[in-house]
Amino acid sequence: MVATAATASLFPISSPQPDSGVKNPGKHGGCLGNVDVRGIKSKSTSSNGLQVKTNAQAPAKVNGTRIGVMDGLKTDDISTSSAPRTFINQLPDWSMLLAAITTIFLAAEKQWMMLDWKTKRPDMLVDLDPFGFGRIVEDGFVFRQNFSIRSYEIGADRTASVETLMNHLQETALNHVKNAGLLGDGFGSTPEMCKRNLFWAVTKMQVLVDRYPTWGDVVQVDTWVAASGKNCMRRDWLIRDCKTGEILTRASSNWVMMNKVTRRLSKIPDEVRTEIEQYFVDTPPIIDDDSIKLPKLDEHTADHVRSGLTPKWSDLDVNQHVNNVKYVGWILESAPQPVVENYELASITLEYRRECMKDSVLQSLTALLGGEGAVDSGGVDCQHLLRLEGGGGEIVKGRTKWRPKFVNRFKNISQFPSESG
C-alpha cells in the first residue's frame, strides 16, 4: 500500500471520461460506429479529454481471400471539459510521498527496537562489544575488549600464535589508558608523564596459555592495573572464549618509568601517581611470580644459536625502540625445530634487561633444560637469551615450557604404513 501511494503521487492517472452518448445510426439501427468488422464491440479510448474512434469498412475479397483494410482513423468529439495540463498541476503530491517515507522509517525503527529486546542465543557474544572498541566495566577498574582471530594471525597449526595473543594484550593496555582519559601524546603515557618526557617500559612478562584460539574465534580480553612496589606498576590480563567463557590465557607484567631523553629509569612522580592510582585494583597477581634462578647461558652452554638478527623499521614503536612483542619471535628463532613442530608453547617468561635500538645486531641462544633427550618426554623446558652479537649486553632472558600437540599424539605421520604397500 505504501509503494502504491508513493507511485500514485508521482504519476497521477486521469480517470476515464464517460461516453459522449453520440450514436451513429446504421443499417440495423444500432451503434455501428463502435462495432468492428468482426462483430466485436470496440471501446472508445480517451486520453486527456481526446476520444478516438476507428471507422472500419467491410473487408474486400481478393481471389476469394478476405483481406482487412483500415481506411484510417477518425477523430472527433474533442472534449474541453478537463483543465489544461500545466507545469504546476503536473507536480506530484509531495504530502503523500512524505507520508509514505515517514511510514517506512517508523516501521524500520519499530523492527530495530524489537530486535534489541529479543533474547540473545547462547552462541552469541556474551558481551556487548560488537565492533571491538572495548569499554570499561567492573565499576571502572577493568577494561574489556573483544577480538576476532583473523586468517593472517594463525600459523601452520591453524591456531593463533603467541605473538598474536601478546599483541592483543598490548592493544588492550593502550586502549585502557585511552578510555580512562589518561592518554597524552605519547605511547600510553599520561599527560603528566608527557610533560616530564616519561614513558612506560616493561621489565617482566609472564604468559600462560591453556588453549590457543583458532581462525574465526572471538576472544574477550580483560585487563586491570595494580601497584607493584614503590616505583612499579603491575598489569594483568585474562583472555576468555566469548562463546563458552573458557579461560584461554592468563598474563601478568611489571612496568617501570623511563626518561625518553636520558633513557634511564625514573621514579614515579607524585603528579603521575595521582593520575593513575585511582585505577589500581587491590588484588594479587593472576599468575604467581616465576622467580626460578637459571644457570648462565652463553655460546658454550647453548644447544642452538641463531646470529645476525636485526630489527626492521616496522619493528620499532613510537618510543624508537623495538616493540616488546618482537622479542618473542627472535627468541623462538633459536628454538629446536623438532620442539616447534611437535610441541606447542604452554608458557613463557620474559625478563627485559635493556633496550634494543634500530641499529642493533642480535644473537638468539637456546638451551634445553635436561638435554636433547628431553624432547621425547611429555614436556620440554627451554632457557633463552637474546643479546647483542659479539658477547654484548643482555637484551632479554626467557624461559619457555612446551607441551605435546594434540595432533601429534601419533608422533609422526610418516610412521603410518604406505597405502601402496
Query: Catalytic positions, please?
Result: 319, 321, 356
Residue 421 to residues 84, 342, 416: CA-CA distances in angstroms?
A: 96, 27, 11
Rounded distance between C-alpha atoms, residue 297 and residue 387, angstroms? 11
Please tell me what DSSP assigns to residue 35: B
Any alpha helices (H) in 254-299, and if so which ranges?
A: 270-276
Of the candidates 398, 408, 322, the one whose C-alpha atom is nearest the C-alpha of residue 362 is 322
CA distance 392 to 356: 12
- Contact call for residues 160 and 150 (beta carbons, < 8 A): no
**Largest CA-CA distance found in the chain, in angstroms, rounded:** 129
Task: State the Cα–Cα distance between residues 395 and 386, nearest whole angstrom.
Answer: 5
Q: Coil, helix or strand for 266?
A: strand
DSSP 45-68: EEETTEEEEEEE-PPEEETTEEE-
Q: Please tell me whether residue 121 adopts helix, strand or coil conformation.
A: coil
Listed residue (357, 348, 360, 364) closest to 298, CA to CA: 364
- Residue 333: how many other CB atoms lie within 10 Å: 19
DSSP 139-192: TTTEEEEEEEPPGGGB-TTSBB-HHHHHHHHHHHHHHHHHHTT---SSSS--HH
Work out the angle at residue 266's Cα, subtended by the Cα atoms of residues 398 and 180, and round it to the nearest 5 degrees: 85
Per the CB < 8 A criterion, the answer to whether 251 and 234 are in contact is no
Q: What angle is formed at CA 194 by the lines to CA 356 and CA 227, rounded to 5 degrees?
A: 75
